[in-house]
Structure 1
Amino acid sequence: AAGLARSRSLGRGLGFESCLGCLGMDWCPVQGVSPFSLCPAAWLGFVLHQISAGFQQVKIFERGGRRREFPDVGVNTRQAMAHVKDSKTGVSGTAVELRANFFRILSHPQWVLYQYHVDYNPQMESRRLRSALLFQHEDALGPARTFDGAILFLPKRLHDVTVLFSETRHGEKVRITVTLTNELPPTSPVCLQFYNIIFRRVLRILNMQQVGRHYYNPQDPLNIPQHRLTIWPGFTTTIRQYESSIMLCSDISHKVLRSETVLDYMTCMQQQHGPQLFVETCKKELVGLVVLTKYNNKTYRVDDIAWDHTPCNTFTRGGTVISFKDYFKTQYGLEVTDLNQVLLVSYVKRLGPSGKPPPGPAMLVPEFCYLTGMALVSCLTDKMRNDFNIMKDLSAHTRLNPEQRERRLLRFVNSIHNSEEAQKELNTWGLNFDNELLPLPARILPTERIMQGPRVYGYNPWAADWTKEMRGVPLISSRPLDSWILFYIRRNCQEAQALVQALGRVSQPLGIRMQRPIMIQYEDRQDGLLRALQQNVGPGTEMVVCVLPSNRKDKYDCVKKYLCVECPTPSQCVLSRTLSRPQTLLTIATKIALQMNCKMGGELWSVEIPVGSLMVVGIDCYHDTAAGRRSIGALVASLNQGMSRWFSKCVLQSRGQEIMDALKVALGEALNTWMKYNRCMPQRIVIYRDGVGEGMLHSVVDYEVAQIMECIRAVGEDYNPKLSVIVVTKRIATRFFARLDGKLGNPPPGTVIDTEVTRPEWYDFYIISQAVRLGTVGPTHYNVVYDSSGLKPDHMQRLTYKLCHLYYNWQGVIRVPAPCQYAHKLAFLVGQSIHCQPNVNLDDFLYYL
């Protein structure tokens, strides 16, 4: 600790993401945990200038197979944008001081990591033997070392070439040549990877278990016995190069487990549904879920069920035939109690010890599997998710407010500082972590004013909601509702009549002219609703409203598929129980009236958009597992200056195809529709690209931007609009806290962060646009990957925040720009309910809200 008295923060200045993570070249310093394999030759050129010649030969793995901690390495988009090269920070708004869940990495002054290549004469095939022979020379190497069988990392410098001699237990003499190949500064790609490896080693010292990508503490579970659920507390951790420092970003994570095994769950299903429906029910409930095998703390996705396999079946292991039950007995000491249970199938994608995918699927014994998931509630059934008490009890343990989150994070970091063994590991390498959350400056953007019909009004900026303010104010543009049909079953007649009366009361103040509907009572049978729709909905029908007795998915899908594909008509589904509470009926009717009107082309409200001739576009994707794992791409584009009319298009792609191949056609149609509405082409186009997963940024920058520009060029040689492409990311571990009235709380809506925790090679920023009542607010990350607009960072940030006000399904500010949320809703509807392309007659309507 004394040696760190003059410690400094690592990584001042520009740095790059680790090239190794992009290639899956994680490496593990613990002997015997994971071996290495040869790196594919096609990748060598990419790594050539990043790492030494010796390191090009190997690929190093962490336990659990290939991981991708730094998948977007080398994407340096900021250097191509002259207007943000010097500064990408804005200036407007009120200054505020925040804290973030980041901890700076500290090191000795002039800290360097030395990389060596190790050769053996004669050659030694066994990695373990190579390690054992090398580690006989601790006096020369020192106690701090990481070796994968060919590459050695030390915190100390040896001679350029060091020759050592060892002897095997059989008396064979071995000459070991250790050659210095690289001196790595703190910001080098290999060092970034190295920090993460060392930190995972520290987490294991703290007795945390790796499950998936994160680490959890199974020794400190939170049990919810009344729901048969167990929560493992844990942390997400990533060390990366940020604006001016290399920092650890850590957030709270929870792994929710069902206390019952998959076998218990299957037995319960058999008792409930009987043997006739058991197979079908099991497939529906289990396929696609993630299970945890506690004997090795690994997670697997259930891809199929092997109905012809039981634990008595055999497989070949190391040239020996062994049954599954005997394997688990000898390997883990586990006794299979039900020899008739069928096995689960998981097509494992992670690479095995040889560096190649396993030769066949993993066969899992349900008795040793527990339902879990990477998402918090993915281990829950639909019935459990809809159970208010279960979700309330879960939230009490997992939805932490800023003060609770800060306490847990500081306790986590203090446990590292207070652990003698962890400190020994860090000090050996000359590393440590700051013990306080990162302070950083931010700005609060001015509150927007809502323009609705003849009025312009403000709202409470802390609530980010104008539900009360908009009551009784006519809309910008309403559509009369003269010919519409309301469908209901006999026992919901009272609720249907109450809805019609409530709609009549709330529609007039909003400026909506609404006639009484045709009331159609349909039979509550399997095909009763579809038959009623086919017999009554015609070309003159402007809107269909269905009062559904339950939230059965097949009924909802039936309505949407018929009215979005076969008979294109805007539709609105309402659950009968939603209408059964008189005290909330007028509020619900107001929301329904607004939805119905904007689905027909009505315009509800707007905000001031000072940029003229601007089209904004939202793009999102959804993966339809029910239809052969096709990808669904949705594009939604504005059609007017007020961003109150929208063009929507959905495309379906086969697996493996680039989604932009079809979406560029949709963008061309959007431009043609803009031309029809405005009699000119937009001079500026801003595209918000959502649904970009880890490792896809290269594809967006190198491929999708080129496709977009090709689409624009196809309009005409003289058409050259200003173009901006912004990648939107919601699923991030970054959290921000503000000190409010002496307590730590959520920053107010409109908070922008564009320093310290942004990336030096990107033109990026964070915006907290929404308000939350419970828990910690999640910021949204915006990465401008292409920008010929010349807009100042201030203007780009403010435009993005303005667009978060324009989602017509919520009278408030949402987490992402409205076109992104519209695209998400469209892709989700098609992927969940329709499974085919909607009718083109609906393209100009928000029919999917």
Structure 2
Amino acid sequence: MEKVPGTEEIDGIPTLPPPLPNISPNLEPQQLVSAKYSIISRCEVGTTGRHIQLLANHFEVSKPDPDAIFFQYSVSITSEDKRTIESKGIGRKLIDRLYQTYSSELAGKNLVYDGEKSLYTVGPLPHNKFDFTVVLEDSFAKRDNGSPGASKSSSEATKRSKHSFQSKTFKLEISYAAKIPLHSISLAIRGVEADYSAQDALRVLDIILRQQAANRGCLLVRQSFFHDDSRNFTEVGGGVTGVRGFHSSFRPTKGGLSLNMDVSTTMILTPGPVIDFLLANQNVKETRNIDWAKAKRMLRNLRVLARHRNMELKIIGLSEKPCNRQFFSMKVKNNDSANEGQTVDITVHEYFVKHCGIELEYSAFLPCLDVGKPKRPNYLPLELCSLVPLQRYTKALSSVQRASLVEKSRQKPQERILSLTDAIKKYRYDDDPVLKACGISIEKQLTHVEGRVLETPKLKVGKSDDCIPSQWKTLLKPTRIESWLVVNFSARCDISRVSRELINCGRNKGIHIERPHTLAEEDPHLRRATPGARVEKMFEQLQAKLKDAPDFILCVLPERKNSDIYGPWKKKCLIDFGIVTQCISPSKINDQYLTNVLLKINSKLGGINSLLAIEHSNNVPLIKDTPTMILGMDVSHGSPGRSDIPSIAAVVGSRRWPLISRYRASVRTQSPKVEMIDALYKPKADGTDDGIIQELLVDFYQTSNGRKPTQIIVFRDGVSESQFNQVLNIELDQIIKAYQHLGEKDIPKLTVIVAQKNHHTKLFQASGPENVPPGTVVDTKIVHPRNFDFYLCAHAGMIGTSRPAHYHVLVDEIGFSADDLQNLIHSLSYVYQRSTTATSIAAQMAQFMKFDDSSDASSVTSVGNAPIPELPRLHENVEGSMFFC
């Protein structure tokens, strides 16, 4: 008889699935009650743990002048022909010229400009509205062609060139918009709710820092800035360079106003000759191997410097023919009176040789860059052009590029401290006239803060007493692997040795592994086939050898991480056949590597590697006696610039209460770039709910001895502070409605916690060069002045500088103390990091979409005018497993 998953007893906890609860599928929508929540305030700080002295990369800021007021003005810029100008570069030049020309009319006020439509001053300008005429010389010099055109004569081009260097006149309208008192920052620091938001005042202070960086010629990326300094450059391959800069932003904290400053990195195109960039970007050595269709897509909208004219231009495309065969029409110059005024056709190559005196070394047989307009092309030979520095690269990095960037950009704690203190002195923020007018000065040293080191949670493993996480011996509940096989997709790997070593390592950890049924090698001739075709051929080979589906397949991939085989292989196994699989790409095989692989395999096959000691003894505070469900939620978005790729919402839900380390995942697609999850509650026309939460609630009930959760802890990843209220008003509301839809009237108690990783606060030991110890928590001085938040470094930082997670408790109806909540989160981090955050699951499931044609998708949901392909559902054999480990 086939064994039903989840029917075992674990330490006396029966997990036999009871009948489903009474579900009321026809519950009328108006019967569902929305609950309104607001963000809670901090009521206490934690006390447990060993005290430790720390430094934080927050620089203390003096109290702003309480009487100072920012006056905000709207800015409208139009050209002579009444076109609205929105270019940030021109806008900043115009405001600079405005200040130089009309300083007296502006009462000598220093101007703070955001680069777009807002201007700020400390105190009011003499009038509420101004109309200025500003003359800007050479403003359009960048658009001069400096090259022959296919549709314009050289004389007309010369006219445009002269015109480009003439002065341009612009109209600037400045009108009063609002007052922003700096006193609001003081109120926020005291935790007082004001009628106006301190965020507006803080935003103006941040704009002052951005304006300083813009004046220094930096690349601005939100609140980070980057200098054109080769000492800060890191080549990562593919024509892409990492550039190190700094993030800086003002933050209200419990200890007062502070400047949070951190080392930051962004990606730029490697400056230099365009041809060198193309060779590196396509990883080829000869120009004859360049894919010009791919090059055209990559070069579009990039800026180049034409060396023969020292002029900056924007690429709109490539010529259709090579330089020596691309003709354009030009009028004969007046030095040839016999043919004056006549139009002749000439190649771009001939033009530069005869009329510019430039001999082209290699680009005569290559396409030209088109730096004109769609209907007025202007061509430049490739070898005369170099990429302008500090142009952002916004596409996703390859796994090789990412690994190179991580390896080369690491900084040890003391190196980072030195970088930050040097920067704060170098930029001399105290000398800024606007900050001076606000009464603001900034400390030059990092902030001292007291932290606590929480005790490392004990784990229960097999055949031993409680142990700390680094002391693996045997697994608590090892599985038994009877029927399995190994497939190798052309990796340089001895799969016979891999299987032997895995069996031996499994024996030492308590897992009994039989010899694999078969070892399947990919036909070398298939290496150049598409990923989908390679997977199909592999499965054909397996089906020819096997009568019954195996329990498990070990898959050896040829590339480490992000192999293009990964997506279609996982889809075939998890969706089409319902077979658990583990992908590996071992560079070296040792006990530590194989142990990590076995931990994943054991979890996927239903075994239990370990339990928290408090979980094993049924002693988790506030959870042990009350059925509690833990949810982890995140959304994964497509690569930057790809607005056609659906976002993937993933939620994991705990099961088999009172355990807190077993999870099931549920995943849906939604509109691109939308952060709020819209499929938590999804009522259908027939009255049923096809949402994520209903699926997880039913699973919790089935695996928890017929108990319904009366408490739900929600961990939300990936949202900013500006989105906290949306989490409460949109997502929490859906969770409640999904619970009510199952016929329940009593809403569970809810605790909602946002976990942020992408922030800029770092912690350092005050008395040593090492990273802060694992378990370091900070909930004083640098935290929010009113809200319940804290920083926690759960794991040891082995390389680089540790980054704490920043936790924000938005709602806490369960009633955790600060100590209980911090210790619970710390403990959950050791159970399995992927369990309480859905980030990796969303990213993994997104791989399925990567290789799915719309015809392969199970269905298409229409959102607005854009159809969104839905993820095919997991096979019933694996949908309840921890397939995502």
SS of residue in 1 equivalent to 2:518: strand
Structure 2 regions of 5+ residues with no counterpart? 1-34, 85-90, 136-172, 186-197, 307-312, 329-347, 353-357, 527-533, 682-690, 854-870
Q: Aligned match of 1:745 in 770, 784, 799?
A: 770
Match of 2:257, as an amino acid?
Answer: I
Establish whether residue 616 from structure 1 lines up as the match of residue 627 from structure 2. no
Indicate if the aligned counterparts of 1:561 and 1:834 stay in contact, CA closer than 8 A.
no
SS of residue in 2 equivalent to 1:406: helix
Task: Give 1:23's aligned residue.
Answer: none
Cα 1:622–1:255 shift into 2, 3 Å: closer
Aligned-residue offset at 1:669: 0.9
Aligned-residue offset at 1:726: 1.8
Indicate if the aligned counterparts of 1:620 and 1:824 stay in contact, CA closer than 8 A.
yes
Indicate if the aligned counterparts of 1:651 and 1:837 stay in contact, CA closer than 8 A.
no
SS of residue in 2 equivalent to 1:210: strand
Match of 1:716, as an amino acid?
Answer: G
Q: Aligned match of 2:291 in 278, 303, 311?
A: 278
Cα 1:745–1:683 shift into 2, 3 Å: same
Range with bigger deviation, 254-263 or 636-645? 254-263
Task: Give 1:510's aligned residue.
Answer: 509
Range with bigger deviation, 235-244 or 600-609? 235-244
Indicate if the aligned counterparts of 1:93 and 1:444 stay in contact, CA closer than 8 A.
yes
Cα 1:310–1:562 shift into 2, 3 Å: same
Q: Aligned match of 2:652 in 627, 632, 636?
A: 636
Aligned-residue offset at 1:240: 2.8
Task: Give 1:801's aligned residue.
Answer: 826
Establish whether residue 93 from structure 1 lines up as the match of residue 118 from structure 2. no
Indicate if the aligned counterparts of 1:594 and 1:604 stay in contact, CA closer than 8 A.
yes
Aligned-residue offset at 1:432: 2.0
Q: Aligned match of 2:567 in 557, 562, 579?
A: 557
Structure 1 regions of 5+ residues with no counterpart? 1-76, 170-174, 315-324, 330-334, 346-357, 460-464, 808-813
Indicate if the aligned counterparts of 1:221 and 1:231 stay in contact, CA closer than 8 A.
no
Aligned-residue offset at 1:197: 2.1
Cα 1:242–1:834 shift into 2, 3 Å: farther
C-alpha distance in structure 2 between counterparts of 1:695 and 1:536, whole Å? 56
SS of residue in 1 equivalent to 2:738: helix
Indicate if the aligned counterparts of 1:162 and 1:177 stay in contact, CA closer than 8 A.
yes
Establish whether residue 707 from structure 1 lines up as the match of residue 665 from structure 2. no
Please give the residue correspondences for 1:475-624 in structure 2 after superposition, counting only pairs within 5 Å.
475-488=475-488, 495-522=494-521, 523-526=523-526, 527=534, 528-536=537-545, 540-549=549-558, 553-575=563-585, 577-579=587-589, 584=590, 586-607=591-612, 608-609=614-615, 610=620, 611-612=623-624, 613-624=627-638
C-alpha distance in structure 1 between counterparts of 2:395 and 2:402, whole Å? 9
Cα 1:589–1:179 shift into 2, 3 Å: closer
Aligned-residue offset at 1:591: 2.7
SS of residue in 2 equivalent to 1:749: coil
Cα 1:106–1:669 shift into 2, 3 Å: same
Indicate if the aligned counterparts of 2:120 and 2:204 stay in contact, CA closer than 8 A.
no
Establish whether residue 451 from structure 1 lines up as the match of residue 451 from structure 2. no
Cα 1:646–1:490 shift into 2, 3 Å: closer
C-alpha distance in structure 1 between counterparts of 2:359 and 2:788, whole Å? 56
Aligned-residue offset at 1:509: 3.3
Please give the residue correspondences for 1:186-205 in structure 2 after superposition, counting only pairs within 5 Å.
187=185, 188-204=198-214
C-alpha distance in structure 2 between counterparts of 1:652 and 1:603, whole Å? 30
Per-residue CA shift, 1:594-633, capped at 9, x if unaligned? Answer: 3222111111111124122222111222224589401111
Cα 1:447–1:223 shift into 2, 3 Å: closer
Indicate if the aligned counterparts of 1:344 and 1:364 stay in contact, CA closer than 8 A.
yes
Per-residue CA shift, 1:258-317, capped at 9, x if unaligned? Answer: 35555434346495699798267659x959x9978789xxxx999x98786999999xxx
Aligned-residue offset at 1:142: 4.2
Cα 1:184–1:137 shift into 2, 3 Å: same
Cα 1:309–1:143 shift into 2, 3 Å: farther
For the pair shown, which has the larger CA radius of gyration, 1 or 2? 2
C-alpha distance in structure 1 between counterparts of 2:477 and 2:98, whole Å? 78
Aligned-residue offset at 1:791: 1.7
Task: Give 1:827's aligned residue.
Answer: 845
Cα 1:803–1:341 shift into 2, 3 Å: farther
Aligned-residue offset at 1:543: 0.6
Task: Give 1:354's aligned residue.
Answer: none
C-alpha distance in structure 2 between counterparts of 1:364 and 1:750, whole Å? 59
Establish whether residue 662 from structure 1 lines up as the match of residue 679 from structure 2. yes
C-alpha distance in structure 2 between counterparts of 1:167 and 1:482, whole Å? 83
C-alpha distance in structure 2 between counterparts of 1:152 and 1:373, whole Å? 26
C-alpha distance in structure 2 between counterparts of 1:803 and 1:301, whole Å? 52
Q: Aligned match of 1:650 in 640, 664, 667?
A: 667
SS of residue in 2 equivalent to 1:827: helix
Aligned-residue offset at 1:80: 3.5
TM-score, scaled relative to structure 1:
0.69
Per-residue CA shift, 1:412-465, capped at 9, x if unaligned? Answer: 111233x89x35554344322122211222222121001113434333xxxxx5
Indicate if the aligned counterparts of 2:181 and 2:201 stay in contact, CA closer than 8 A.
no
Q: Aligned match of 2:183 in 185, 190, 199?
A: 185
Aligned-residue offset at 1:668: 1.0
Match of 2:667, as an amino acid?
Answer: C
Match of 1:518, as an amino acid?
Answer: H
C-alpha distance in structure 2 between counterparts of 1:667 and 1:364, whole Å? 58
Establish whether residue 239 from structure 1 lines up as the match of residue 264 from structure 2. no
Cα 1:292–1:744 shift into 2, 3 Å: farther
Q: CA RMSD in A?
A: 5.0
Task: Give 2:802's aligned residue.
Answer: 777
Per-residue CA shift, 1:476-517, capped at 9, x if unaligned? Answer: 22222111122347997x822222222222222322222211
Cα 1:486–1:382 shift into 2, 3 Å: closer
Task: Identify, as 1 or 2, the structure richer in helix.
Answer: 1
C-alpha distance in structure 2 between counterparts of 1:180 and 1:491, whole Å? 64
Task: Give 1:677's aligned residue.
Answer: 703
Aligned-residue offset at 1:593: 2.6
Aligned-residue offset at 1:750: 1.0
Indicate if the aligned counterparts of 1:616 and 1:686 stay in contact, CA closer than 8 A.
yes
Indicate if the aligned counterparts of 1:478 and 1:602 stay in contact, CA closer than 8 A.
yes
Task: Give 2:21's aligned residue.
Answer: none
SS of residue in 2 equivalent to 1:553: coil
Please give the residue correspondences for 1:404-415 in structure 2 after superposition, counting only pairs within 5 Å.
404-415=415-426
Indicate if the aligned counterparts of 1:688 and 1:820 stay in contact, CA closer than 8 A.
no
Task: Give 2:752's aligned residue.
Answer: 725
Match of 1:198, as an amino acid?
Answer: I
Q: Aligned match of 1:403 in 410, 414, 427?
A: 414
Range with bigger deviation, 600-609 or 713-722? 713-722
Indicate if the aligned counterparts of 1:309 and 1:343 stay in contact, CA closer than 8 A.
no
Cα 1:293–1:164 shift into 2, 3 Å: closer
Match of 1:433, as an amino acid?
Answer: I
Indicate if the aligned counterparts of 1:805 and 1:817 stay in contact, CA closer than 8 A.
no
Establish whether residue 437 from structure 1 lines up as the match of residue 442 from structure 2. no
